[in-house]
Amino acid sequence: MLRAEGDDRLALFRRAVEVKAQYVQNKVYFRGLIEFSNICLKNCFYCGIRRDSKNVRRYNLSDEEILGAARFAYENDYGSIVLQSGEVDTPAFVERVDSLLRRIRELSDGALRVTLSLGEQAEETFRRWFESGAHRYLLRIEASNPELYRKLHPHDERHRFERRLEALQTLQRIGYQTGTGVMIGLPLQRMEDLADDLLFMQRFNIDMVGMGPYIEHRDTPLYAFRAKLLPLAERFDLSLKMVAALRILMKDINIAAATALQAIDKLGREKAIQVGANVIMPNITPGEYRDDYALYENKPCTDESPEDCKACLEARIAIANSTVAYGEWGDSLHYGRRTGG
């Protein structure tokens, strides 16, 4: 499927469209994305906000700014938000997230679903945050082939493949709706690796997936490999095929249209919606900080306000023959079935 061209490629997309309509309908769920800090203790070779990156203006939103963004999502009926940041596991950080979760629950009367995307944490931390109101967690495996993973990360305890995998298993055991994903078109990645990534997600019985193209960033070690990369247009097309193939493999999961798609093609996310994705994460981080959360280059819409984002997305989603499901949590149907709920 990933190598399909011409009529085969169209057949793949058509089948994904059918499966999507049958299992998850043509609804798109909004998750308001709050990138609340770019401070990170890790040093992933691909990422623009890695610890050793010197050209980054580090920021950390105040609690009031974070709660303001959550209130915006609540008042605009988004149903759910994602709190994302660099990976920090200090006691102060754990405590802060815990208190934010409680305050978000309070301000929305429990009506907002909260997803966390804060990297690897101790089991105790994951449990604590779950009890304080986070019910979903996104932790991309990045590359499910341990050998490839090792080439993309430093060789120390904080960057061990097994540690990441265990964290994902722990999340699932605790009862989170568990999400993972990979980057597509990484240097040294083979087509077989991507096929295995899809099988990994299926075997893991994952509830949600966010995956998108790898986009090089000049201040990172992986930039040295840029001559070996697939052209951006091919990485983009491969990402669409990954989404379509995954929709066929895992019919009732939630699949997010990655923001990185939009860094390549202005209508990138809508195209992913058309071929199988059903979640979009509008950025509701206060505008002044968005430029500084540069995981990769050409990050879209960094100069827009949350209000602009909303209007713009609604129009785009209508083009993709879908409607925004306002006021719905949009829980992964797969999670419901997997847990018998």
Residues that bind ligand SAH (CB under 6 A): 46-47, 84, 86-87, 117, 119, 139-140, 142, 183, 214-215, 217, 260, 295-296
Cα–Cα distance, 36 to 52 (Å, whole number): 19
Q: How far is the CB of 271 from ligand SF4 (least distance, A)?
A: 24
Q: How far is the CB of 126 from ligand SAH (least distance, A)?
A: 13
**∠ CA 35-171-244, rounded to 5°:** 70
Q: How far is the CB of 23 from ligand SAH (least distance, A)?
A: 26
Interacting residues of 328 by C-beta distance below 8 A, sequence separation 6+: 27, 29, 79
Amino acid at the residue 89? D
Nearer to ligand SAH, 55 or 315 (CB): 55
Q: How far is the CB of 326 from ligand SF4 (least distance, A)?
A: 30
In the numeric block, which tokens belong to residue 148? Answer: 């490839």
Nearer to ligand SAH, 113 or 140 (CB): 140
Q: Of ligand SAH, ligand SF4, none, which one sits near residue 140, judging by CB under 5 to 8 A according to partner kind?
A: ligand SAH
Q: How many CB atoms lie within 10 A of CB 64?
A: 8
Q: How many CB atoms lie within 10 A of CB 102?
A: 13
Q: Of ligand SF4, ligand SAH, none, which one sits near residue 276, judging by CB under 5 to 8 A according to partner kind?
A: none
Torsion over CA: 161, 163, 164, 170 (sign) = positive
Q: Of ligand SAH, ligand SF4, none, which one sits near residue 20, judging by CB under 5 to 8 A according to partner kind?
A: none
Instruction: With residue 236 as reference, give the H or E element that holds it.
Output: helix 232-249
Q: Of ligand SF4, ligand SAH, none, which one sits near residue 183, judging by CB under 5 to 8 A according to partner kind?
A: ligand SAH
Q: Of ligand SAH, ligand SF4, none, which one sits near residue 50, judging by CB under 5 to 8 A according to partner kind?
A: ligand SF4
Instruction: With residue 148 as reference, give the H or E element that holds it.
Output: helix 146-152
Q: How far is the CB of 35 from ligand SF4 (least distance, A)?
A: 10
Nearer to ligand SF4, 217 or 235 (CB): 217
Q: How far is the CB of 178 from ligand SF4 (least distance, A)?
A: 17
Q: Of ligand SAH, ligand SF4, none, which one sits near residue 126, judging by CB under 5 to 8 A according to partner kind?
A: none
Q: Look up residue 142 and give its DSSP letter.
A: B
Residue 314 C-alpha from the chain's centroid: 20
Nearer to ligand SAH, 19 or 295 (CB): 295
Nearer to ligand SAH, 83 or 320 (CB): 83
Task: Specify the residue for token string 């304080």.
Answer: 132
Cα–Cα distance, 178 to 247 (Å, whole number): 17
β-pair type (27-30, 32-37): unpaired
Cα–Cα distance, 11 to 31 (Å, whole number): 30
Q: How far is the CB of 164 from ligand SAH (least distance, A)?
A: 9
Q: How far is the CB of 143 from ligand SF4 (least distance, A)?
A: 12
Nearer to ligand SF4, 47 or 73 (CB): 47
Q: Is 309 helix (H, G, I), strand (E, B) or coil?
A: helix
Nearer to ligand SAH, 24 or 243 (CB): 243
Q: How far is CA 104 from CA 33, 39, 110, 177, in A?
A: 14, 22, 8, 19
Nearer to ligand SAH, 70 or 116 (CB): 116
Amino acid at the residue 244? A
* Nearest Cα residue to 27 out of 333, 337, 240: 333
Residues that bind ligand SF4 (CB under 6 A): 40, 42, 44, 47, 49-50, 86-87, 119, 295
Q: Of ligand SAH, ligand SF4, none, which one sits near residue 112, judging by CB under 5 to 8 A according to partner kind?
A: none
Instruction: Give yes or no for a contact between 279 and 258, defined as CB atoms under 8 angstroms apart.
Output: no
Instruction: Give yes or no for a contact between 33 and 281, defined as CB atoms under 8 angstroms apart.
Output: yes
Q: How far is the CB of 295 from ligand SAH (least distance, A)?
A: 4
Nearer to ligand SF4, 44 or 255 (CB): 44
